[in-house]
Amino acid sequence: MHKIDDEKIKSIIKKHQSDPQIRLTASEVLHTYEVRQAQKLKMRHEKKKIWWFVPSTFSLAAGLTAAIIFVMQPQGEGSSVISESSIVYQAEIPGGKDGEFIFMTASALAFSDTDNLALIFNPDLAKANNSTSTNFSTIEETLDYTMPLVETFTQASSGLDFTVDEGEFVGEYATYQYQIQLNNELYVFCNTTFDKDDQEETETEISGELHTGTRVYQVDGEKEVDLTDSETDLKINVHLSNTRTIAIQSENENHEQKFSYSELENDELISEVEIKAEVEEGQYSLSVQAKQGGNQHQFEIQVQNSNSYRVLTDDETIEVTVTGHHRYTYQHMGPHN
Question: Which of 148, 171 has the CB closer to another protein?
Answer: 171
In angstroms, the CA 136 to CA 12 distance is 63
1, 5, 48, 124: which one contacts another protein (CB under 8 A)?
5
Q: Which of residues 154-173 bind another protein (CB under 8 A)?
A: 168, 170-173
Query: With contact defined as beta carbons under 8 Å apart, do 289 and 283 qualify?
Result: no
Binding mask 80-119 for another protein (x = CB under 8 A): ----------------------------------------
Question: Which of 37, 329 has the CB closer to another protein?
Answer: 37
102, 112, 211, 218: which one contacts another protein (CB under 8 A)?
211
- Cα–Cα nearest to 107, from 263, 253, 322, 252: 263
Q: How far is CA 111 from CA 104, 172, 259, 295, in A?
A: 10, 24, 12, 18
Least Å distance, CB 151 to another protein, is 29
Q: Is there binding between residue 8 and another protein (CB under 8 A)?
A: yes
Least Å distance, CB 2 to another protein, is 8
Q: Is there binding between residue 45 and another protein (CB under 8 A)?
A: no
Beta pairing partners, 275 = 259, 288
* SS3 of residue 205 by DSSP: strand
Least Å distance, CB 114 to another protein, is 27
Question: Which of 8, 45 has the CB closer to another protein?
Answer: 8
Q: Residues binding another protein: what is the number (CB under 8 A)?
A: 40
Strands 256-265 and 317-324: unpaired
Q: Which of residues 15-34 bind another protein (CB under 8 A)?
A: 15-20, 22-30, 32-33
Q: What is the DSSP letter of 48?
A: P
Q: Is there binding between residue 1 and another protein (CB under 8 A)?
A: no
Q: How far is CA 31 from CA 107, 130, 262, in A?
A: 43, 55, 50
Q: How far is CA 184 from CA 69, 113, 180, 210, 214, in A?
A: 12, 21, 11, 12, 11
Residues near another protein (CB under 8 A) are: 2, 4-6, 8-10, 12-20, 22-30, 32-33, 36-37, 168, 170-175, 184-185, 211, 214
